[in-house]
Amino acid sequence: MNFRLLMSGLFLAGMSNAALAADPINTGPFGDVAIKGYDTVAYFTESRAVKGSSEFAYEWLGTPWHFNSSENRDLFKTDPVKYAPQYGGYCALGVGLGANASENIDPVNSWRIIDGKLYFVSDPTGAEVLDHPEGNAMLAKADANWEDTKPLAAKDYSN
């Protein structure tokens, strides 16, 4: 597939649900819990998406995070920057394209851990982009763009 065509499609898809990163952490359109309630530690420890529970919640950066166990919650508490997704859990490709940070992520099928950092994107095709050299270039752009995109509340939090 033509990479430019793919990126254009992802850009337009992200823009349809884009929201300026008003919050440091992506809580979706309803603003209730980080990364749609999935356990951010489980991506690292189990290499899969695991739904968290409010029973094992922890608030960080003014946002509730749900975990599948007290062990995962406690791991997060000891080093949240290690386990928190990049760009506050907003779509990495959207941030890389200089678009508003899209809340529209798929935490089950559209994530990658690259160099020890967790990234979310809006769909599985976008996740595949991260597996290629073009993905590394896009993440470098996202790193640069995030400084201007992320909200003031998150300026002190940097992964």
Query: Does 72 map to a domain?
Result: yes
Whether 70 is covered by a domain: the verdict is yes
Work out the angle at residue 137's Cα, subtended by the Cα atoms of residues 129 and 127, and round it to the nearest 5 degrees: 20
**Beta carbons within 10 angstroms of residue 58's beta carbon:** 18
Q: Compute CA distances 114 → 86, 142, 158, whole Å.
A: 10, 14, 16
pLDDT at 54 over 50: yes
Same structural domain, 80 and 37: yes
Q: Could you tell me if residue 157 is inside a domain?
A: no
Q: Residue 80: which domain range?
A: 27-84
DSSP structural state of residue 85: P
pLDDT digits (tens, 9 = 90+) for 26-36: 887 756 899 99
For residues 72 and 113, membership in a common domain is answered with: no
Q: Domain boundary residue among 84, 102, 130?
A: 84
Q: Are residues 97 and 145 in the same domain?
A: yes
Query: How many CA atoms does the CB half-sphere of 146 hold within 13 Å?
Result: 26
The structure's pTM equals 0.81
Same domain, 75 and 89: no
pLDDT score for 75: 99
Tally of domains in the chain: 2
60 plus 137 within the same structural domain:
no
Last residue of a domain, one of 49, 65, 84: 84
Strands (E), the chain: 53-60, 63-67, 111-114, 117-120
156 found inside a domain? no
What is the pLDDT at residue 17? Answer: 35
pLDDT digits (tens, 9 = 90+) for 104-145: 899 999 999 999 999 999 999 999 999 999 999 999 999 998
